[in-house]
Chains A and B, each alone.
Chain A
Amino acid sequence: MLKVDHLNVYYGVIHAIKNVSFEVNQGEIVALIGANGAGKTSIMHAVSGLVKPKSGIISFMGEDITKLHAHKIIARKLAQVPEGRRIFAQLTVQDNLEMGAYLRTDNKINEDLEKVYQRFPRLKERRNQLAGTLSGGEQQMLAMGRALMSKPTLLLLDEPSMGLSPILVNEIFDIIKSINKDGVTVLLVEQNANKALSIADRAYVLETGNVIVSGKAADVANDSKVREAYLG
């Protein structure tokens, strides 16, 4: 479904992503794990079109999307929940969700809005509140709801657990599993390796811009190098 082939991303002279290749198959949850600065977010931004890679090919559903603008990539039903949520603080909760459906012209938008409210009842209570007034966990739910409003087939989640309490982290991961069960393929970037590996089918471990370990999530979790570096 998503295939990243020999991706190289530079910021000026800094070589952030070095020849990274990975793929995500339909229906999977794939985790990209690694420490701060390993290049996880750069990969996400390259896939979504927010940064342009120097070389390499990113293809989605068999189509080369490497050079497409971000707003053309979301049109192909590849959505991202960015790191730090990046909700529109000055817009209401409902307006944020409406922005998620910005490109849709079908008549099922209200139906999907209700579905998002069913998944995240707290958002419904706060639908007319400015998004900036929500708590961290609610903002994460809003960011996920906003991405779901585009009816994605592939959802990129960048550090969904960042800054959340352990109880909320569990809640968010349960929601990710249920989104996946509803037929959305998930590519998950996490520092919380334990949590990510517990719900993922497969995983890739990044270190300073390179993939150092990859395989089934259970195997990655048992890899001695990974255990030493990330799982303690």
Chain B
Amino acid sequence: MSTPSKGLSEFVAEATEILDTLAQDLLTLDERRGEDVDPDLLNGIFRAAHSLKGLAGMFGQDRVAQLAHRSEDLLDRLRLGKVELGPAALDGLIATIDVFQALLAESARGEASPEVTQRSQALADHLLRLAEGAPRAPEDPLAGIGLDPGVRAVLTEYEEHRLRENLKKGLSLWKVRAAFDLSDFDQRLQEVNAKLKPLGEVISTLPSAEPGAGTGIAFDLLFGTRRSEDELRAAVAAMPVALQRIAQAAPPSTASAPPPQGEAAAAPARPERRKRKRGTSRATGTPPIPERSGPAEPALEAAEPTLPAVDEESAALAPVTPLPTRTPPVTPKPELDASLRSLTQTVRVDIRRLDALMNAVGELLLTRANLQRLAETARMGGVHAISKLWAQELHRETRQLERKLDELQKGILDVRMVPLGQVFDKLARLVRRIARSAGKEIDFVITGGEVELDKLIVEELSDPLMHIIRNAIDHGVEPPEVRVQNGKPRRATIALRALQQGNHVVIEIQDDGPGIDLARVREVAIARGLITAVQADEMSVRELQNLIFLPGFSTARSVSQLSGRGVGLDVVKTNIANLSGIIDLHSTPGQGTLLSITLPLTLAIIRALVVSVSGRTYAVPLNSVLEILSVESSEIRTIERREVVTLRGQTLPFVRLCRLFGLPEVPLKRHYVVVVGLAQERLGIAVDELVGQQDIVTKPLGGRLQHVRGISGATDLGNRRTVLVLDVGALVEEVLAPERRADFI
């Protein structure tokens, strides 16, 4: 595996951005099947494919370039109206997204597997056939009108096509001359565009070659509309524009530009422009491209799911610790004029740099704690007035430092945040494809795509979410006929929701399918030897449901293409647990299943509960703590040689931390029980004392201590005391499934 060069990683980053836009716009196009096609949207998609081709070509990524080239060709013919946009063409284009992703993933690793090459080639050939199919008869209405040759000379072929389309529909064509001051013309022009867009289509924006008066600049907009002259004039009444209808054999424009207006309210121009570039705005009054079935085509096998498979390494239970600080090589760029900064308002940051920053903040937090302790000691122990004064000052400084640190921490956390929509969009494509191949009719409803989470968490979420949704499609949705028989709507609904709750994000996946078949779960678990019949009889509904998270459990009667890939919900459980997430499962027979995942906003700095046991101090990540109970010794019962307590009528497994770690036991009448949850498991951990809460940065343990189970690392509490951080996941697993783990210390 070769190490990708810096240039290559830049290529992958930009290509990924383009691909995200492409995918999003294609999905929008797909959702609007059967509606009039928005030419801006289609052109935006074309531009994305076009950019991708250019980019890949420049970086010598031939496979990406070739597929982008074929996509672009097809899109070009679609937008020029030479090929009609039917289901075949749309499916072909949507299929490219996954192949592009596979290609980019290989590029990033510096690889090129024959399988992916072959898939890409097959798809490229398919697109070529689509582009060649069903040509439309060419006609040229442009020939009829006497457009100013100076204007026509600067129209690209696409713009000419749009002009033709407008004329064909019998729209009237206007030249809108707008003059502005050079300093803010882009904003003013956006304002004019915003007024015009609802009325028709702005075909081109030609900066007038006539030299402006000193600091002015004029534009000629070519505008097609169905609206009357009065409506048009009313729309732009307050704008510094002149209108001229382009009639047949119209003479070159001699309209004089009105003086620039300086006092009109400025509109935020950048989002508008981005919007236009991405082609998400919709034009009204533009000619539709009718929907029609495409020509017969060979079945497309390239559309295989390609989201990366969960590998064993990432699935292994590993304590979550900050990445080691590595500073990527930074080559200083030549400083350009400040005004030449990139126009986009998003910043792409290498996550490793952020981790380094985060570490620095962690250290600063420790300094703060030290300072606080000093201040406290001085204030309490200081006898001289002068030292008291000093202590007060120090105290004030510490407060200041604390506030600054909070700001810094918040700012950095914000930089790490990315919207969940990034993952949700990928899942939407997956659902569409899987549902089709499984013969199921599903509405996939996404809400909360704007909710933001730490980038690392979002990245790690895509695999588990994919598994859960595959499962929902496979097991949680009945075939359409069965649904109708059961009196349900023919189309099933799978909802994917995200919502923020304080410092947590809750992600819910809900289906309206048959619910979990507990009888069958029981049957399978016994058949697989996961539990005995006697154990099964003693299990609560919740415990039975949770059996589906055990490794080796799968109720699919046959190994299907969808869920039966040898990895099941146990992998989901492990992945979510690695993110300190908590899984809740609710299933109602006949009505459906709701699975909710609660995740921390970030893992970089965590809040911990500091507890003490037998005179030793430990930190418990607060993300995993559900509640704290105070329990009398008499309330502790023993079932099958395991201690349990009763919590709101439910049996809660209970463990004394001192016994687990082999520490001398302090006899106590009352125990504090820290109830922790990890994935779907719950456990009560008895401790002697609750010390308090604190922000901690977990450092990995080195050398031999590294593999000690039950401990995820160490942290400094600020009083120069290093304490161990409990690995809640390992503890839960240890206590609840000791037969699977014999190597505990």
- A and B bound? no
Q: Chain B: residues with CB nearer than 8 A to chain A?
A: none
